[in-house]
Structure 1
Amino acid sequence: MTSFAALPATRTAPTAEVSGPPVVLVHGFASNGAADWPAERWADALAAAGRETIVVHLPGHVGGPAVSSADEVTTTQVLGRIAAAVGDQEVDVVGYSLGARLAWDLVSSVRVRRLVLGGLSPMEPFGAVDLAAARAAVQGGPQPTDMLTGIITSMVAQQDATSLLLLVEGLAREPFNPAAGAPTVPTLFLAGEADPMAQGIDHLVGLVPDARLVRVPGDHLGALAGEDLRKAVFEFLDI
């Protein structure tokens, strides 16, 4: 069996009597755990409700390890490292954007009680990124001419662009393929009403038995920051 080095994770212990399994939070691309899951909105409230929180820090992002090769950040590798961080305990998992893309497949290697997938696109964008153009642009070269590559370039430009573009390359080698298998645990989908990235999420909902979709106000970033999304997550996780 292949062993994986655990990704770094920030753990917050419950401050009240334990009321349920730990809650794993997985952030989006070019974001980070603190930005997507501010402690005052998530870990502190979960701790007060008797739940441990595990915020996983993805490769190439703030709090996560730098990336030296695309080989070390294929989807299989990243999922294995998330699973190693979680361990063999039963957990609830909440993923947003890239975090949701990974959480979809995480159920095959982690004991998940309930699953929340927010801001999830049914499409695999990373395979269409012109990596050569993106790498040239972050080194001061011309901006990419295609929209998607330009968006990715702008997202990584002020961060560890080398690591993040290697992550894009690695994940693209094993594209998101929801038709290959869907979660079978109780699942809640969340999407911002003005989020273009979540277009087509209804198709994904239809692949998951008894899944539910809740639309909340906001675009891709605004939905995650909104109180409606957090309330829906907490209700679904019995918090």
Structure 2
Amino acid sequence: MTETVERPVSGVRRDAPHRPALLANVGAAAAFGSAALIWLCRAWDPSVQYVSQLGATAMPTAPVFNLALLLLAVAAVLVDRALVARPVGYVVGWPVATTLLICGLCFGVASVVTCSPGCPVPFTPGSLPQDLLHITFAVLGFVLAIVAMGQVAMIRRRPWMRATSVVTLIAVGVTAFTGAMIALFRGDTALGGNLEFTAATLAIAWFGVFGLQVAADHRQAVRRGSSV
């Protein structure tokens, strides 16, 4: 009877170390899938200038785009869960996992509360409360993604991921800022829209790459543990 009780417990212990790597890998796949769906929407309706307009009410691309945004939320939360399940030193000021969790929740809200038709700027004629909510959570999620990149860029023990985060952080910052300035001063909307799509794609791709790095860290930790 004693053997019957102990065997399933040991089986759970053998499987448990691999769970964080699985979560991180699924999160990475969700992030890459999100980027692919957003560009599918972009190809579907090239006339759309800005990212959030693809998910606006009554847009034919809305269901696919909002699914892409939800996948991004899932990606951030899964990578967060992977970090929490088996911490591997991703703490800069506060845990990177905390940043990812709040970031994912923001994108989750933005995927449910969509823009009104045309996605007008909040507090302008024709805008609705849902526009303010969507833009607020989408922008906050984007800013938190940049914060997470900055945190990872400061971790010296992972030079490859650090370099990737620094390059992505600079590229996202430059493209997003330039696109925002073009929109603010009513410049070339096509160029501004392309820059926004580029910034969003880089940020989403970073989630995917980071998820793969977290999974690799977990696998390496498990191998070290099993060799002891």
With normalisation by structure 2, the TM-score equals 0.29
Highest RCO, 1 vs 2 (Cα 8 Å, sep ≥ 6): 2
TM-score where L is the length of structure 1 = 0.28
Larger helix proportion of the pair: 2
> Which entry has the higher C-alpha Rg, 1 or 2?
2
